[in-house]
Amino acid sequence: MPHGNSILLLGTSDNAVPVNNDFFDKASTVPTPVNKGDSFQFGYTDGFKVPEPLRLFPEFNQQDPNTFLSETLTKNNQKITAMTTISMSSNNASGGILNIPFGDNVVKAVDMDATFWIQQIEGSDTLQLQYSQTINLNFPGMSFTAKPIPVIWPHVTVNTLKKVLMK
């Protein structure tokens, strides 16, 4: 998120053990026009269509970073025995983002969603935290096009962190 902004996220939590590792929602990083009728010119999103062998990081799904989270569980043969899910969003009656004035002129953070999964892994004293957060940034239209098109660029952050419980 741009520096100097204030955010209020509200949400829910629940405790449920997943049946498999397929509980992560899709998190798209593909930019879209702010206005529904607009379309991009000049191959604006072509970078997302690069075939896997030519990608700089072929193991990372650039269009849906949340696949990294499920692949981490699968790759490490991890079975979750207990899990708390915390979901928060600025898109609710009381939440929101306040941008500093400079940010409103250059790029504006318009909304944010974050999910945290606190997991107990079978056969281990390890607690694991996986998270995904998406901040949608609105950029003003490109001035070098015939019709400037404002753009929503999703900024997605994912990670897996482990804590070893001390005995």
Domain range summary for the chain, segments of one domain joined by +: 6-164
Q: How many angstroms separate the CA atoms of 125 and 139, rounded?
A: 45
Neighbours of 31 (CB within 10 A): 18
Look up the pTM and report it. 0.84
Q: What's the pLDDT tens digit per position in 55-82?
A: 666 667 778 899 999 999 999 999 999 9
Q: What are the helix (H) ranges across 66-162?
A: 67-75, 101-106
Q: What's the pLDDT tens digit per position in 3-48?
A: 678 889 999 999 998 888 889 999 988 888 888 888 777 667 776 6
Contacts of 31 (CB under 8 A, 6+ apart): 40, 44, 45, 151, 152, 153, 154
